[in-house]
Structures are given as structure tokens and as C-alpha cells.
Amino acid sequence: MNHRAIRAIYLFEMARTWRTLLQSIVSPVVSTSLYFVVFGAAIGSRISQVEGVSYGTFIVPGLIMLSVLTQSIANASFGIYFPKFTGTIYEILSAPISYFEIVLGYVGAAATKSIILGLIILATAGLFVPLHIHHPVWMLAFLVLTAVTFSLFGFIIGIWADGFEKLQMIPMLVVTPLTFLGGSFYSIDMLPPTWRTVALLNPVVYLISGFRWSFYEIADVSVSVSIGMTAAFLVVCLAIIWWIFRTGYRLKN
């Protein structure tokens, strides 16, 4: 294992984060605060409670997940797409490192960044609404699992994309709608039965449900199903990345 190479890639990617601190950390925090103002205070004041929790408190896990998902994808896809775009990828490909080590460096840094962001948003939320986390260890476990899985997903998008447009396309057209329809701002029990069934096809529902359970012990689906679905998505992403490196897809051809 070439751990010096993993370290070099990881620190290089993290250095990019610190260099662009304003857009990486500050802007998601500002936009989350706006969600609290709009949904929590303005709309939430007209909704009494959801499953025994005040509306403002109810949306906290969903909001964190919303940011963690989008930021994981954005960080990882940009992290690997940018060297492809500038051509500096030649150095990574010609270095004595395995594909696994490359993924570990890039995905590790992308996931670290979104986990830090998730925790900052959690702290920000604490300023607006009272928070009590029933299962902090599970909360962290869900956070890490989600960040890693979606960073892997972002890595795949970054390899696949051959232009900035494509880089934006999947997050804009697929991920954001899935997150909004995944129960960030409501319980899917509030949906009519048909739509509830449709919602269960959305993988994000399981993430948010599990994550919310770790906070308030309320969930749309059972916790084991949540973990199972997230793990399944993780395995699918790993399989695709394995295939990418094995065939050299969009990297070595």
C-alpha cells in the first residue's frame, strides 16, 4: 500500500478546500440558515408538529442530508474531473499507485469535507431550534456512510463527465429532485398512498429516514432497511468504480 500517495492526494484535495473556504463551507451554512428561516420559522409556524416533533426540529436531519448529499457529489466529482480537465491526471495515472489508493485519496477527502460540513450545519441548526440526538453513534454512522457512498457516486460522475455541463447535469436533474422528494421537509406518511409507494422507490428516502431515526426515533421505514439500502447503493458504486478502472473507461483510452 502506497500510503504516502494516498496522503498526498488527500492533503492536496483538503488544501483545495481550505483555499476555497468561503464557497466550500460558508455558502452551504448560509443557505441552510435560509431554509430554517423560510421553512422553520415562516412555514413551520403554521404547522404544529410532525410525529410529535416541532416542524423546525423535524427538518434538521433532512437539511443536513440535503447538504451532505449534494456536497459529497460536488466535491468528489469536481476533485477527479478537474485533473482530467487540466490534464494533471497524467501524473496520477503514471504514479505507482493502485486504483483503490486513488479512490481512497479522492473519496476520502470529499467525504471528510462533507462530514465536517454536516456537523457545522448541525451546530448551526442548534442555534435555531432545540435539538436532542437519541443515538449519536448511529447518527455519525449514517453521516459517514452517506458521505462515503455519495462521494463514490460523485467520483463516478466526475470520471464520466466530459464537460462542465455533464458535471452539473446529474446533481441538478437527478439528485436535487430526489432529495426534495425524499422526505427532507416532510414525512412520507403525509403523502397520499399512491405517492407514498412511488416515494419508496427513491433511495434518498431511506437515507433521510434512517438519519432522522437516529435523532428522534421516528422513521418512515425501518432502520435496518435504511442501512441495507444505503449499503446496497455503496456496493453498486464500488462495483462501477472497479469496472471503470479495470477497463480504463474515460481514463486510459
Partner 1 sequence: MSSIISVANLSKTYGSGFKALKNVNLDIKRGEIFALLGPNGAGKTTLISIICGIANPSEGRVLVGGEDIQTSYRKARSLIGLVPQELHTDAFESVWATVSFSRGLFGKPKNPAHIEKILKDLSLWDKKDNKIITLSGGMKRRVMIAKALSHEPQILFLDEPTAGVDVELRKGMWEVVRTLQQSGVTIILTTHYIEEAEEMADRIGVINKGEIVLVEDKTTLMQKLGKKRLTLHLQGKLGALPDGLAQYELDLCDGGATLVYDYDTKGERTGITSLLSDLRAAGIRFNDLDTTQSSLEDIFVDLVRTS
Q: Which stretches of the chain bind partner 1, using CB under 8 A? A: 2, 4-5, 7-9, 12, 15, 19, 86-88, 90-98, 248, 252-253
- CB nearer to partner 1: pick between 48 and 86: 86
Running DSSP on this structure, what letter comes out for residue 249? T
The Cα–Cα gap between 100 and 104 comes to 6
**Element housing 228 (H / E):** helix 223-247
- CB nearer to partner 1: pick between 132 and 252: 252
Closest contact distance (angstroms) between CB of 237 and partner 1 is 23
Closest contact distance (angstroms) between CB of 2 and partner 1 is 4
- CB nearer to partner 1: pick between 95 and 190: 95
The Cα–Cα gap between 187 and 41 comes to 18
Closest contact distance (angstroms) between CB of 251 and partner 1 is 9
- CB nearer to partner 1: pick between 95 and 235: 95
Residues whose CB is less than 8 angstroms from the CB of residue 25 and which lie 6 or more positions away in sequence, other chains included: 17, 116, 117, 120
The Cα–Cα gap between 103 and 215 comes to 31
Residues whose CB is less than 8 angstroms from the CB of residue 70 and which lie 6 or more positions away in sequence, other chains included: 171, 175, 176, 179
- CB nearer to partner 1: pick between 96 and 193: 96
Closest contact distance (angstroms) between CB of 80 and partner 1 is 14
Closest contact distance (angstroms) between CB of 8 and partner 1 is 3
**Inter-CA distances, 114 with 119, 121, 124, 217, Å:** 9, 10, 15, 24
